[in-house]
Amino acid sequence: MNQSELDRLQSWFDSYVQTFYDTDDDGLRNIRLKVEHTGQVCRVMELLAAGEGLSPDDARIAAAAALLHDVGRFPQYRRWRTFRDSDSDNHARLSVEVLREQRLLERLEVGERLLIEEAVRFHNLLELPARLKSPTALFLKLLRDADKLDIWRVFLDYFQKPPEERASAASLGFPDRPEISPECVATLAAGRVIRLDTVKTLNDFKLLQISWVYDLNFPSSCRLLAERGHIQRLAATIQPGEALAPLLEKVMAEVKGRAAGQLPEGI
């Protein structure tokens, strides 16, 4: 893919999102949240592409996947007024549907088109699908890391805003109660990603986001995460913080190890 193709995709995205701005104030905040998220995922992707030494061609494919990964969020919100896939439809599938309906990638080589579509299609799976072929795995892993690195920012921003300015769909509607589910704590302690269907409270959801550390794929992603301090800031919003302190120390040690290139086998 050349640069002018990527520029064309960006222009398409800019016009496409315009068609969703005709809504009420709450709707507008939620649509803007996803437009901003996409822009930030693209920026993170540039950093990861540079950090991991991607060729210019591969960096453009990665950039296209970042730009298009959440386009299904816009029709999802318009139709169901939620970003919760379980109450609506799988937004990654909706994104691929938009790409096909709009015939957006038809000018690309088939191989490149498939790489982008597969990265978009699988970017929100709890775990990477087994037996992925190597170029598909590269772009999917990059996209999953870039997406997480910005979702941490979105979520932290959400807490810093007064309730009336918050994009209501960002926290997926979990009740803000002090409890933390033992099942979520145990999963994090075991070094695994917490499943969304085990989350009951907003605190559980925060732990779920912290557990994403165990799903990062590249040293550059972990370095960026450490630099940005998202995990420490997220942990500081959980009450009572003290009980979780040893667990969070373990997570931070994991980030440090992965940033230094100590990734689990198979990644």
Q: Binding residues for Fe ion, per CB under 5 A?
A: 70, 124
The dihedral sign for the CA sequence 208, 96, 68, 38: negative
End-to-end CA distance of the chain: 26
To Fe ion, the closest distance from the beta carbon of 143 in angstroms equals: 9
Cβ closest to Fe ion, residue 30 vs residue 124:
124
Give the nearest distance from C-beta 72 to Fe ion in angstroms.
8
Nearer to Fe ion, 124 or 209 (CB): 124
- Indicate the residue among 70 and 118 with the shorter CB distance to Fe ion: 70
**Contact present, 67 and 146 (Cβ < 8 Å):** no
Report in angstroms how near the CB of residue 256 gets to Fe ion at its nearest. Answer: 27
Q: Where are the alpha helices (DSSP H) in 52-83?
A: 56-68, 73-80
Q: Which is nearer to Fe ion, 52 or 70 (CB)?
A: 70
Pair 33, 154: CB distance under 8 Å: yes
3-state secondary structure of 11: helix
Nearest distance from C-beta of residue 147 to Fe ion, angstroms: 6
Minimum distance from residue 178 beta carbon to Fe ion (Å)? 29
Which amino acid does the sequence have at 126?
L
Contacts of 257 (CB under 8 A, 6+ apart): none
What are the DSSP E strand ranges found in 59-188? none
The dihedral through the CA atoms of 233, 235, 241, 244 has a sign that is negative
Both structure tokens of 41:
């995922």
Q: Which residue is nearest to Fe ion (CB)?
A: 70
> Which is closer to Fe ion, CB of 70 or CB of 145?
70
Q: Are 222 and 230 in contact (CB under 8 A)?
A: no
- Name which of 124 and 171 has its Cβ closer to Fe ion: 124
Q: Which residues of 16-37 are buried (b: 16+ CB within 10 A; e: fewer)?
A: ebeebeeeeeebebbbebbbeb
**Shortest distance (Å) from residue 130 CB to Fe ion:** 21
